[in-house]
Amino acid sequence: MSANIHEMTDEELNKQLDSARKELLDLRFSYATARSLQSPARVGQLRKTIARCLTVQTARKKGLTITGKGGSKKQAAGKK
């Protein structure tokens, strides 16, 4: 999925982010009321998805290109 995030348009990325945030909120509410979750690992997955979306958005705002695992490369010529 993370490879897909880099290929999404800004609108798709915003939808993915909103969806993940809503699902996380729902999981937190269900945990608060029932004190149990059917899939507790899903919380971590959603948090990571949200972080990935925000990372891609920030990189695009700064004009950076994500080059794969753990790296980014400047798109435009700038300070060295």
pLDDT for position 59: 94
Range of the domain at 23: 2-74
pLDDT exceeding 90 applies to what percent of the chain? 57
pLDDT band at 50 (very low <50, low <70, confident <90, very high): very high
Query: pLDDT digit string (tens) for 2-31?
Result: 558 889 999 999 999 999 999 999 999 999
Domain count, the chain: 1
At residue 75, what are phi and psi to the nearest 5 degrees? -85, -45
CATH number of 56's domain: 1.10.287.310
Contact at 8 Å (CB) between 24 and 46? yes
DSSP 36: -
DSSP structure class, residue 45: H
**Residue 25 · residue 6 · CB < 8 Å:** no
Is residue 49 in a domain?
A: yes
Residue 79 in any domain: the answer is: no
Query: Residues 27-51: what's their mean pLDDT?
Result: 92
Q: How much is the pTM?
A: 0.76
Cβ proximity of 5 and 13 under 8 Å? yes
